[in-house]
């Protein structure tokens, strides 16, 4: 048995810390499981959940209002480490956190298949003149090629995709799923994911190519509402991928493909197809 999986690999009925068995987690993606309550709801650790949500809120404000770009990777990884420490202190298992090592292959296969579709779709959009302009981004044009490549291959995979997937589809969903039905756990964690994106949306309105469509307080409110609802829906889709693979590797690789391919597409449109 591999290290790190032994605390819940069998999830035998006498285990007081496991809300679901491993077999339950492997089929939790199926609709028949969505409204099922945990067979052994874990005792509530309300302060652990409050602490993680408060930590996420604090990190969101600091990252968007005070933190220089150079510190995003170490800061985000530090926040994530604290969130994992709190969850583990609450006796969350690695399976509930989406971090089982023996499911990483399945996560990469499932996520890779979806990511390939995303990448092909963006490549087609760039090749078509009518949709190519959607990728023209002044922020990419003004940055150096090295900066764009660093963002696409380092910052986004680590400080954005892994950070957010581990925090929302891993820690928060896993904590909620110990006490609630999977559907409710997914809705709550995805709603928090939507709220998480409101501040960065407001902060980037001026530099975003679509920012001109949202003018004034009403425009900012509509942009924030749209970002919250849209990313909340994306969070639900990511949660399903996480459950389908029983590993956050699946939504992580799709998250990377979506953001990094869009950035690389903008680079091609702004530097090559001019």
Percentage of the chain exceeding pLDDT 70:
86
Q: What is the mean pLDDT of residues 66-76?
A: 93
Of the pLDDT bands very low, low, confident and very high (cuts 50, 70, 90), residue 10 is very low
pLDDT in tens, 207-232: 555 544 544 566 667 767 888 899 99
* pLDDT mean over 163-181: 96
Give Cβ neighbours of residue 106 (< 8 Å, ≥ 6 apart).
245, 246, 247, 250
How far, in Å, CA of 39 to CA of 114, rounded?
32
Radius of gyration of the chain (CA): 20
Question: What is the average per-residue pLDDT within 141-157?
Answer: 93
Q: How far is CA 148 from CA 140, 264, 266, in A?
A: 7, 8, 10
Number of other residues whose CB lies within 10 A of the CB of residue 27: 12
- How many angstroms separate the CA atoms of 175 and 197, rounded? 21
Closest among 189, 30, 185, 28 to 95, alpha carbons compared: 28
Query: What pLDDT, on a 0 to 100 scale, did the predictor assign at position 213?
Result: 52
Cα 8 to chain center, whole Å?
24
């Amino acid at each position: 048995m591999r290290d790190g999986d032994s605390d819940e690999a069998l999830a035998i009925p006498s285990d007081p810390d496991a809300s679901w068995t491993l077999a339950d987690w492997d089929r939790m993606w199926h609709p028949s499981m969505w409204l099922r309550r945990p067979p052994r709801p874990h005792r509530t650790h309300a302060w652990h959940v409050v602490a993680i949500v408060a930590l996420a809120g604090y990190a969101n404000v600091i990252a968007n209002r005070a933190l220089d770009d150079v510190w995003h990777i170490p800061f985000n990884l530090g926040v994530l480490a604290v969130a994992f420490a709190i969850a583990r202190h609450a006796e969350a298992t690695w399976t509930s956190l989406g971090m089982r090592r023996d499911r990483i292959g399945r996560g990469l296969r499932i996520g890779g298949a979806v990511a390939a579709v995303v990448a092909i779709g963006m490549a087609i959009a760039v090749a078509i003149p009518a949709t190519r302009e959607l990728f023209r981004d002044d922020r990419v044009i003004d940055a150096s090629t090295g900066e764009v490549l660093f963002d696409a291959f380092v910052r986004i995979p680590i400080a954005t995709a892994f950070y957010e997937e581990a925090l929302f589809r891993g820690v928060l969903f896993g904590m909620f799923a110990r006490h609630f039905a999977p559907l409710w756990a997914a809705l709550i964690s995805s709603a928090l994911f939507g709220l998480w994106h409101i501040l960065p949306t407001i902060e980037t309105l001026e530099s975003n190519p679509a920012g001109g469509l949202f003018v004034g307080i009403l425009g900012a409110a509509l942009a924030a509402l749209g970002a919250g609802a849209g990313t909340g829906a994306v969070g639900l889709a990511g949660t399903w991928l996480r459950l389908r693979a029983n590993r956050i590797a699946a939504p992580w690789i799709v998250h990377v493909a979506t953001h990094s391919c869009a950035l690389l597409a903008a680079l091609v449109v702004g530097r090559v197809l001019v």
